[in-house]
Structure 1
Amino acid sequence: MRFVYFQPGRTSATSIILGLISIAIVVSLFVFMMPVLLGIFAVVVLAGLAFWLWSWIKMKMGWESEEVKTFREAMAQAEAAARSQYAGRSADPDGTVYESERVEVRALRSDRTRRRGMDDVSDVEEVK
């Protein structure tokens, strides 16, 4: 069932003009609001870049607080200890150390076992 509501006293030309006016209003709101939205976006991006640049300058110039300096030194010592502990194992060119591990995967209703070689959690390769 379809309901049609007629608007008494209005011609089709009036309906077309009202439709064009409503489209013009929507387009003009879009045109006038886009610079505002882009400006807000630009301010947020520039504020983030300024914060990153200020943090970078503080780190390079040594203007950080004592707590941050102590934390950076502790992290450097922990990294050096980890590198000395895993010195005999394979390492990436950037120095990241991965441990090799064998994982057995069994299907629920099967006795068939597949072996997989895993250098990293995200690097699972099937070994035949």
Structure 2
Amino acid sequence: MMTDKKTYYTKEHEWLTLVDDKLARIGITEHAQEQLGDIVFIDFTADLGDIASGEEIVTVESVKSVSEVYSPVSGTITKQNEELNDSPEMVNESAMENGWMIEIELSDLNELSELMDLEAYNTFVEEEE
């Protein structure tokens, strides 16, 4: 797991890790992939370009269900992890590293203050169970 970069979490079980000052990668948490089970298909529902916080970016299909992934921040999607098209199981194997879904250039760094750190997220998950 990447520990040298700042990672944030949402109540919808998404994570966001800053790659640099304005660029971030987004994916689903280990907890989310465990709940979903074996992931069989990833559909990038948002195209490259501008997106608002809360908009759907990806649909994740598993053997159990279909779930939507939402952008926790506003910005510009600059890259999709196209390796997931052929290897969606990478999300199960490495949700926080190789299983990232999109890269986004943040338009408002203040939105990060609305997200949780790891400690707050772990507490949230424990309270949910």
Using structure 2 for the length normalisation, give the TM-score. Answer: 0.16
Q: Which has the larger radius of gyration?
A: 1
**Higher strand content, 1 or 2:** 2
Give the alignment's TM-score, normalised by structure 1: 0.16
